[in-house]
Structure 1
Amino acid sequence: MIEAILYSTDGCHLCQEAQQLLAPLVDNGMQLRVVDIMDNDDDLQRFRIRIPVLALNHSIELDWPFDIQRVQHSIESIS
């Protein structure tokens, strides 16, 4: 199973767009955990100007803007 984490924060309109983009994959069984970078100093330092960032299995990070095809291709490359 793919572990998907969306690094985000409240009030980030791009993060909301990313969640909406990922919704069909979640509806088809992908488990997505949304992590607020404000809750962890390491995450804040790492992702501050990059959010939203989608991490897949701790090995692939997709910076915004990403599209559904890029996400699917990345998932396929892990499987």
Structure 2
Amino acid sequence: MADKNLLLYFTDGCHLCDDAVKLLQQTNCSYSKVDIIHDQRLVDLYGYSIPVIEDNNGNTINWPFSLQELNDFIHIHTQ
């Protein structure tokens, strides 16, 4: 699987976001975290669906997802 930089949209205190981080750490992809609380547009987009992971092409996967679903998302979008 190719290395891919992903964005994790999250906010502090979100236990589901913590779960998503644990899954991301099990992949070989680098990722950056973006706290949606600092951008009203992101709050409007993701406020009810975080954690959300976005790839370099704007494709997203919303919670809930398993490690297998995350790996599938990464694999499909690195082809």
Q: TM-score, normalised by structure 1?
A: 0.85
Aligned length: 76
Q: 2:35 — aligned with what?
A: 36
Structure 1 counterpart of 2:48, which letter?
A: I
Q: Please tell me the residue identity of whatever aligns with 2:12.
A: D
In structure 1, the partner of 2:45 is: 46
Ranges of 4+ aligned residues in structure 1 off by more than 6 Å: none
TM-score (norm 2): 0.85
1:62 equivalent in alignment to 2:61: yes
CA RMSD, 1 decimal: 1.3
The alpha carbon displacement at 1:2 in A equals: 2.0
Which consecutive residues of structure 1, in runs of 5 or more, have no partner in the other structure? none
